[in-house]
């Protein structure tokens, strides 16, 4: 049994430092690098990719709506053509910078509101999938487990993996509980590690209302920018290794 641990990174820009990228990198297997639309800038993208190279991590693009002020978490009334263009632009930028370091881009994972919209709307998901396939058909699309994202990826014919979140609560429908709702983020490292282990071994998780929800992920998202994030990632990795679960990028 094996699993990938992915983490959003490279979200610093200008004089602002966000997250604990290098401290978290030794404990994950894949990173999703911000492309400049919700966070980051060219210099920080290069720095992040070089750090990922140092730790031999698989690299993904983390495209979003063009929303620096709202950190990409605000819904935008973008057309499928606009979503396609914005995603293709960001994926191409990450791919180009990876090539300057002799690296290959592994995957694409939408960020924030774009991810949440794609999770529920197969047209949004298909627009992202079309952008991925147009830039490089070898790229994987990271999709929320059992969501409309999977439908969009299948319809377009793009490779995909399904993802579960370590520290985020789920609704009974299997979607993420909105961050503004109490209990949306789980902060106890041991509880989160146990939850991740249960998801991997049983393919199920308890939703916020106690309902059992089916999840069968090939990758688990951990966060590197929340309080105590690095300690939580360490706890998750330690628990999985103790249980004999292999940690490696899904693209291998």
Question: What is the sign of the dihedral through the CA atoms of 69, 88, 216 and 24?
Answer: negative
| CA distances for 58 relative to 137, 138, 152, angstroms | 17, 14, 24
77: which residues sit within 8 A by CB, 6+ positions away?
none
pLDDT at residue 80 in the model: 97
- The confidence score (pLDDT) of residue 252 equals 80
Lowest mean pLDDT among 112-116, 182-186, 233-237: 182-186
- Give 174's pLDDT tier (boundaries 50, 70, 90): confident
Average pLDDT, the chain: 94
- The percent of residues in the chain predicted with pLDDT above 90, rounded, is 84
pLDDT band at 15 (very low <50, low <70, confident <90, very high): confident
Per residue in 141-150, pLDDT (tens digit) is: 999 999 999 9
State residue 122's pLDDT score: 95
List, as one string, the DSSP characters of the chain.
-EEEEEEEE---BTTB--S-HHHHGGG-SEEEEE-SSSS--HHHHHHHHHHHHHTT-EEEEE---S-TTTTT-S-----HHHHHHHHHHHHHHHHHHHHHTT--EEEE---HHHHHHHHH-HHHHHHHHHHHHHH-TTPEEEEETTSHHHHHHHHHT-EEEEEEESSB-B-TTSSBPPTTSTTSB---HHHHHHHHHHHHHHSEEE-TTS-EEE---SEEEE-SSSTTHHHHHHHHHHHHHHTT-EE--TT-
Closest CA to 130 of 63, 196, 187: 63
Q: Which of 219, 169, 227 is nearest to 60 (CA)?
A: 219
Domains, the chain, ordered by start: 2-247 (3.20.20.370)
Q: In whole angstroms, what is the distance from residue 91 CA to residue 93 CA?
A: 5
**pLDDT at site 78:** 96
pLDDT band for position 19 (cuts 50, 70, 90): confident
Give the global pTM.
Answer: 0.94
Question: In this model, does residue 101 exceed pLDDT 90?
Answer: yes
| 178 pLDDT tier (thresholds 50, 70, 90) | confident
pLDDT over 80 at 225, yes or no: no
Rounded mean pLDDT, 198-218: 93
Q: Looking at residue 198, what is its pLDDT?
A: 95
């Amino acid at each position: 049994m094996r699993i990938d641990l992915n983490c959003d990174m490279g979200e610093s820009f200008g004089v602002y430092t966000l997250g604990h990228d290098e401290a978290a990198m030794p404990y994950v297997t894949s990173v999703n690098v911000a492309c400049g639309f919700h966070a980051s800038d060219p210099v920080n993208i290069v720095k992040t990719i070089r750090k990922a190279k140092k730790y031999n991590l698989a690299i993904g693009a983390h495209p979003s709506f063009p929303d620096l002020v709202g950190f990409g978490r605000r819904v935008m009334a973008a057309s499928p053509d606009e979503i396609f263009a914005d995603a293709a632009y960001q994926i191409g930028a990450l791919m180009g910078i990876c090539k300057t370091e002799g690296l290959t881009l592994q995957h694409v994972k939408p960020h924030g509101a774009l991810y949440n919209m794609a999770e529920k709307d197969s047209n949004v998901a298909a627009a992202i999938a079309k952008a991925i396939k147009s830039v490089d058909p070898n790229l994987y699309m990271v999709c929320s487990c059992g969501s409309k994202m999977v439908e969009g990826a299948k319809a377009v014919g793009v490779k995909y993996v399904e993802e579960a979140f370590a520290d985020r609560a789920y609704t009974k429908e299997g979607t993420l509980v909105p961050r503004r709702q109490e209990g949306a983020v789980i902060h106890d490292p041991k509880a989160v590690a146990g939850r991740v282990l249960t998801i991997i071994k049983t393919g199920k998780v308890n939703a916020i209302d106690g309902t059992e929800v089916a999840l069968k992920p090939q990758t688990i998202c951990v966060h590197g920018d929340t309080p105590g994030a690095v300690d939580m990632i360490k706890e998750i990795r330690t628990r999985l290794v103790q249980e004999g679960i292999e940690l490696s990028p899904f693209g291998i």
